[in-house]
Structure formats: structure tokens, C-alpha cells
A and B are shown apart, each in its own frame.
Chain A
Amino acid sequence: MKNKLFTALPDEKDMRDAYCDALIAAGEKNARILAIDCDLSASMGTGRFRARFPERSFNLGIMEANACSMAAGLSVTGFVPFVHSFAVFTSRRMADQIFLSCAYAGLNVKLIGGDAGVSAATNGGTHMAFEDFGVLRSIVGVRLFEPADNVAMRALIPKIADECSVDYIRMPRRSVVKIYDEGESFVPGEAKLLREGEDVTLIASGVLVSEALLAADLLAAEGIEARVLDCFTIQPLDIARVVESAEKTGCVVTAENHNVIGGLGSAVAEALGEHMPVPMERIGVRNSFGEVGSQAYLMDHFGLRAKDICSAAHRVIKRKQAMQ
């Protein structure tokens, strides 16, 4: 793998539209796929699925708990419901229904959380999910995904649609930076190696993947080579690749659009603590609720930028060197 300089270019298409494209494509192949909305279909971008498959689309209103358990009931009869709401509601509001009606019952329900983290922007702290992965990560059998771009999203949907599983996918609704070339393949549970490097490992997901790649270029300019993983599956974590990377580079920085408690940083810390303790730092939101602001402002405010990842990389490299 030869490392190329990363150019951050936003996709022309909003991520919710890439999602809906993928859902429609999956729906064309599998007539049992249903869309369940909770009065947020305009925000979640599922209107085109409803236009294409009106008889397989149900807006169940502002009743998330009912929607989640009804989706489980639909799954009992063999349907594959995709349930849509904002990440705050799909996690916090549906937590017990996801646990019992879906996961414990062994059913097949796909849950989509929109406006993930800082992408909730001016909807503010009430609507800014920094804890959705934390709420759901300890529920047995719930897989957690955060695709980094539209290519990843389009690749992921048909994969999960074909498996009997309870899956939660969080996404921003608007355009995100392109990471992958069309046609890139993804296996749920397997992190993507985006950049080779021997000095430090940067592990990111979602909108922080592009920041990690930018950070890697900044570090390279200083002569530090960073290995970069897109850990788009938070649960189950790709422990093998995380441990292998830590062993190779001797230090790790995680980066997530989420509280550092409960999400990617926690998952990586747990894996490293058990298998390969190395110096690590977590870039993410610390002890703060969300607040109103543009996504750019919030990323600066919460320290989710490439420069923040670089600073953390310098610190873990220093700690690694001190141990040698």
C-alpha cells in the first residue's frame, strides 16, 4: 500500500440520499424489506423509498417505542423492517425495545439513527447523540455501524439486509467527505486499513475518518508515519486488526464523533487493555452535552479536528518512546 496525500472533497450527494438509494436497491431485490418511519421521513430522507414502495412503507408517527416493537413483530412474520429516527431516539428512546423485542427475542430488525453527533448541528444538545453507541453497545447481539462515506453506506446496506441480525447504523443526514472509490468492498466486522504506517495507529469512524486521514498527512510532513483504520463496525470490534495495529505501531489514537465513554474509544481501549496494552488516547467528546452550532463550529469546539488527532498522536508517541 502506497500512501497518497488525502484530499477532503465532500460528496455531491447527502448521506441520507445514498442511504435511501441503497435501501431502494435492497428493496428491489428483497420484497420483504420495509421502511418504518417515526414522523422524521423528511429529515431521514426515506421519502423516495415510500414513493417506490408505498405498500411497504409505514409512517407510525411519533411513537418510537411502539415502532420498534412493531418492527420486531413484523420480523416475526418474516419481514425485514428498517426503522428510522434520529440517533437520539433510535438509541435512548428505543433502548428497552431494542433489547427485549429485538435482540433478546432473536429477531431481524435494522435501526437507523440520523443526525449522529455533531451533525445534529443547530438542533442542539437535545438532539445531539454522543451516547447512542454507549447506550446500545452492551446489548448482546446488536451490531453497531458508522459508515464513513456514501460508498461505505451503499456497500453496507445490502450486506446487513441479507443477514438475520439486529443492527444499528448511525449517520449524518448531509454530505460527508469522500473516502472510498466506487466499488470498494466492505465486510461487517472488518476494519478497513486506509493507510500504512509504523509510528502510530489512528482508529476512526464516521466523519472522523477524514480528519484522521488529514492528520496522517500532517504527521507525515513531520516524518511520522501513521497507520489509519476506518473502524466502521464498532460492535463487534475488529479486535484482530486493532491488536495487530497496536503491536505494529506501539501506540494508538482513536477518534470519534461521540462521547469517549461507550463508543469506539472505549471499545478499542477494552481490546487493547486485554490483548495489547500500549499508550493510547481517545479523541471525542468529554463530559459535555451537545450544543447548537454549525457542524464545523462543533468539531472545533469539541476538539474533533485533524490537529487534535495530531496532538494526541505526538503525546502517545512520546509515551511509547519513554517506555523503550
Chain B
Amino acid sequence: MNEFDMLTRFSADIRIQTIRALQHAGFGHIGGSMSIADVLAVLYGTEMRIRPTEPDWPERDYMVLGKGHCGPALYAALALKGYFPLDWLETVNRPGTRLPSHCDRLKTPGIDMTTGSLGQGLSAAAGIALGLRLEGLDSRVFCIIGDGELEEGQVWETATAAEHLKLNRLIAFVDENKRQLDGDVQAVCGGDLDEKFRSFGWHVSRVCGWDISAIQREIREASEQREAPSVIVLDTVKGIGCSFAERERMNHYMVVTKELADEAVDEIERRLAAGTYPVGEDA
């Protein structure tokens, strides 16, 4: 299997494991978990310097999931990489679980920062990037934030500070899935986010959110930046690759039954076989 096929399969497995995890929980943040499955596959598949059996390896690259409510997608990626057993995914959001709805660095191997209050993750990632520089390490800090999350003022405080401090090892992704809990981002509070970040002095690129090769290329380009922090905008669709979520406009948080999960998993396999994964024939 070549690298592209391996990453495609990995992203499909992240989707499948996430859908199954939310099926076991009965409900969850399906929409925003689906739209980051491909970037997670690229990061954990080929790009991040990590040791899954040594999650605290000091020289690792770091991941901060600013949109902490999409923890289940990251948990699926971590489990598939061997950070913890796959059957932990069946415990998502159950009492006593080590995989809570929002990311918790004290509970889950491989979670580098606790997140859930939007806007704080990018600041924490900038702090980690600064700390790594003080340590003399060239590790990168990846941070995935939501397009709705950009409404938080703290994001723009960090956009200012990270540029000022020349945190070139900070690489953010905006999951531009165009929807937030209450509806369309543009209807709630939108704007041209590429232009915003560019005006803050960041290295900005935009890719199709499920184009694995393009994501890989832009991560490598961002890693070459000598001064500017980078943001890679993932132009995507909320719920992408999960048939029952694709059908629902309000798919931020959904009930996930076994029937729906079975249907979605079958559809993922069908699209893979048909060469139309993840978006299907409608794309």
C-alpha cells in the first residue's frame, strides 16, 4: 500500500472509530469530528514526530485540539496509533472514562493540553511553542481550531503574540467547516479569515480539508517558515464522510444509533471501494 492509500485508509478508520465511539456513547459532536479526520490522519500518519508508546517523549511534536469538543476524533487517531487500547473508545463519555467529551491532558495518553473553553487552545499552543524554543528544541506545535472558535477574542490576542514572538514552529489549522452550533458561521459572525490571519503576519495557506496530499504539502511548507507562525485553512464541510451527519444541516451534536452508525460505516467502505472517499459521488 502506498503512502496515499495508507493515509486514506487511516482517515477512514478514524472516521469509523469515531462513529463507533459516539454510537457507544449514544450521541456526541459528530459534525466537527468528521471534518478533522483527514488532517488528523496526515498528522499522526506521517507528519508528527511522536512515540505512541512514550507519549511524554520530550522531543515530540505537540498537538493541541483547540476545539476540544471534537476529542473523540483525536481519541480515535491516538487509539489507532497505539497510545491506548482501541476498546477504550467504547467508554467515551461514560462515567469514569479516560476519554471525556473534551480533551483532558490528565486523563488521556497523548493529549498534550486540556481544552474545551474555546479560544484558549491556541494560546496554550503558543506557550508550548515558546517553551520548546527556550528548551532549544525544534519540535512543532500543531493546533486545530474551529472557524466558529475564531469569534473568540483570545484567538486574536494569540495571533498578535505569536507573530510578535516569531513562533514559527506553531502551525495552526482552522477547520473551516462553515457551521457552528447555532448555524452558519457567516450568518453568526463570519469574515475573510485568510485575510485576517495574513494581516496579523501569519503564513497562510488554504487547502481542501480532505485533500490528504495537499494537507501534507502545506504542513511541510509551514514547517519551513523561519519566523512566521502558520495557519492552514481546511476548506471543508461539517459532518463530511459520515452519511447521516452529511444529511443533517444541524449536525454539531447528534444522536448516534447503531443503525445510523452501521449505515455510515458501510457507506465509508463503499466510497473507499468506489474511489469516491470521503465525499461520495455528490462532490
Chain A residues at the B interface, C-beta cutoff of 8 Å:
34, 55-56, 58, 60-61, 63, 65-66, 68-79, 96-97, 99-101, 104-106
User: Cβ of B131 and Cβ of A76 under 8 Å apart?
Assistant: yes
What is B's interface to A at a CB cutoff of 8 Å?
Answer: 62, 64, 104-106, 112-117, 119-121, 123-132, 134-135, 153-154, 157-158, 160-161, 164-165
Select one of A69, A73, A104, A105 contacting B154, CB under 8 A. Answer: A69
Cα(A96)–Cα(B127), bound, Å: 17
How far is A100 from B104 in the complex, measured between Cα atoms in Å?
10
A-B contact pairs, 27 of them (CB 8 A): A55-B134, A58-B130, A58-B165, A60-B161, A61-B160, A61-B161, A63-B157, A65-B119, A66-B123, A69-B120, A70-B130, A72-B120, A72-B123, A72-B124, A72-B127, A73-B124, A73-B125, A73-B128, A74-B127, A74-B131, A74-B134, A77-B131, A77-B134, A79-B131, A96-B117, A96-B120, A106-B114
Among B114, B135, B160, B164, the residue within 8 A (CB) of A101 is B114
Whether A101 pairs with B106 at a CB distance below 8 angstroms is: no
- Cβ contact within 8 Å between A100 and B117: yes
A281 shortest CB reach to chain B, Å:
38
Contact among A55, A61, A101 for B123, CB-based, below 8 A: A101
- Shortest distance in angstroms between B149's beta carbon and chain A's nearest beta carbon? 13
Question: Do A77 and B123 have beta carbons less than 8 Å apart?
Answer: no
A62, B121: Cα distance in complex, Å? 19
Q: Once the chains bind, are B123 and A65 in contact (CB under 8 Å)? A: yes
B114 contacts which chain A residues (CB < 8 A)? 100-101, 104-106
Residue numbers in A under 8 Å from B115 (CB-CB): 100
Contact, CB under 8 Å: A79 / B134: yes
CA distance A61 to B159 in the complex (A): 13
A73 touches B113 (CB 8 A): yes
* Complex Cα spacing A69 to B123, Å: 5
**Closest A residue to B117 using CB positions:** A100
Residues of B within 8 A of A61 (CB): 160-161, 164
CA distance A66 to B156 in the complex (A): 9
Residues in chain B near residue A78, CB distance under 8 A: 131, 135
Which residues of B sit under 8 angstroms from A75, Cβ to Cβ?
Answer: 127, 131
> How many Å lie between the Cα of A38 and that of B98 in the bound state?
36
A99 vs B119: C-alpha distance when bound (angstroms): 14
Report which of B62, B105, B116, B127 forms a contact with A70, defined as CB distance below 8 A: B127
- Known A76-B124, A101-B123; 16 more pairs at CB < 8 Å: A58-B130, A58-B165, A65-B119, A65-B153, A68-B123, A69-B127, A71-B127, A73-B129, A73-B131, A74-B130, A76-B113, A77-B127, A77-B131, A79-B134, A96-B117, A96-B120
Task: Known contacts A61-B161, A66-B154; decide if A77 and B120 are in contact (CB<8 Å).
Answer: no
The listed residue (A60, A65, A97, A106) touching B106 by CB distance below 8 A is A106
Judging by beta carbons under 8 Å apart, are A105 and B106 in contact?
yes
Task: List, in ascending order, chain A residues with CB within 8 A of B130's CB.
Answer: 58, 70, 73-74
* Highest count of chain A CB atoms <10 Å: which of B121, B124, B157: B124
Q: Which residues of A contact B126 (CB under 8 A)?
A: 66, 70, 73
Docked-complex contact B154 and A65, CB < 8 angstroms: yes
In the complex, are the beta carbons of A77 and B132 less than 8 A apart?
A: yes
Q: How far is the CB of B170 from chain A (nearest CB, A)?
A: 10
Q: Tell whether, in the assembled complex, residue B158 and residue A70 are in contact, meaning their CB atoms are under 8 Å apart.
A: yes
Which residues from chain B contact A74 at a C-beta distance below 8 Å?
A: 127-128, 130-131, 134
Cα(A169)–Cα(B124), bound, Å: 22
